[in-house]
Amino acid sequence: MVLLLFVDLDPELAALRPLGGFFVLRTGGVPPGPLPTLARTYENPVSEVYGNSLTFRVHVVAERLRAPELRIAASIAQQALAARLWSVALGCAALYGRIPDLDPRLLHWDADRSAPDDLWLAEVRPLPGDAHALADAVLHAHLEPLNAALVARHRIATGLLWGNAASALAGAARELDRWARARGRRDVATRARALTAELLAHPLLAGTGTFTGSSFRRRSCCLYYRIPGGGVCGDCCFTQPPGSSRNAASG
């Protein structure tokens, strides 16, 4: 039997700080600068490069990675934002037993920065920490409108985006498992793994891959291998970049 050791959900989400990176979330008040909310981002995927933070983010990623197609940058940008959202939600559920309300109208996004400075939650409102609440907070409130906006703007498959979402969730669970085991927090590792398994069975994520223990093997590819110097990710459906054997044989 594993004893769950929860603490109260504090306004600064301080329990996430030791996990660093993707798990940390800035909270409270109005963020500095005119940062749009994610609700505004999802509702207005305009075509101008600087007219919308989502469009801007895709172009930023494309420039930084020298992506040959915008749809590749769109995939990588989507997976990164999904990883941020899952890390915060799953981290809070595993450590606190509750999650903050991640309503897109409360969550501000700086599309020009990376974790942990990219997201700012205006107010911490506690919600239950079960799989149903996590699905509502991340899958329905964020990833459904995010994916719809990207599909509308880029030639990208919906199945690829849901594969990214599943991969991001499994990655967050894997980091939590590693952190918890190193500190003897079996309760955190067990809860994170159980929530992840339940979420991966959700209709939007079911069939995206196979989750065993803390490892995940997806059935799609995020296209990272197509950027200069890129390879396949650890959970990719490919064991080597497509065409690499043929290219090596002809080289």
- For residue 42, being part of any structural domain is answered with yes
- For residue 238, being part of any structural domain is answered with no
Q: What is the pLDDT of residue 195?
A: 97
Question: What tens digit of pLDDT does each residue of 149-202 get?
Answer: 999 988 899 999 999 999 999 999 999 999 999 999 999 999 999 999 999 999
234/111: higher pLDDT: 111
127 forms bridges with which residues in the sheet? Answer: 99
- For residue 118, being part of any structural domain is answered with yes
Q: Are 28 and 122 in contact (CB under 8 A)?
A: yes
Q: What is the pLDDT of residue 248?
A: 36
Q: What is the pLDDT of residue 142?
A: 98
Question: What tens digit of pLDDT does each residue of 23-72 get?
Answer: 999 998 878 777 889 999 998 655 444 458 899 999 999 999 999 999 99
Question: Can you tell me the mean pLDDT for 122-133?
Answer: 96
Domain tally for the chain? Answer: 1
- For residue 150, being part of any structural domain is answered with yes
Q: Are 97 and 133 in contact (CB under 8 A)?
A: no
**246 pLDDT above the threshold of 60:** no
Q: What is the pLDDT of residue 245?
A: 45
Q: What is the pLDDT of residue 5?
A: 56
Residue 160 is part of which domain span?
Answer: 14-208
Q: What is the pLDDT of residue 214?
A: 78
Q: Are 134 and 197 in contact (CB under 8 A)?
A: no
Band of pLDDT at residue 242, cut at 50, 70 and 90: confident
Q: What is the pLDDT of residue 1?
A: 42
Q: Are 161 and 176 in contact (CB under 8 A)?
A: no
Q: What is the pLDDT of residue 46?
A: 53
Q: What percent of the chain has pLDDT over 90?
A: 66
- For residue 44, being part of any structural domain is answered with yes
Q: What percent of the chain has pLDDT over 70?
A: 90
Q: How many CB atoms lie within 10 A of CB 44?
A: 14
- For residue 222, being part of any structural domain is answered with no
Q: What is the pLDDT of residue 44?
A: 67
- For residue 221, being part of any structural domain is answered with no
Q: What is the pLDDT of residue 212?
A: 87
Longest dimension (CA), the chain: 61
- For residue 218, being part of any structural domain is answered with no
Torsion (CA) 4, 196, 150, 54 in degrees, nearest 10 = 20
Q: What is the pLDDT of residue 32?
A: 76
CA atoms within 13 A on the CB side of 168: 29
- Rounded to the nearest integer, the mean pLDDT of the chain is 88
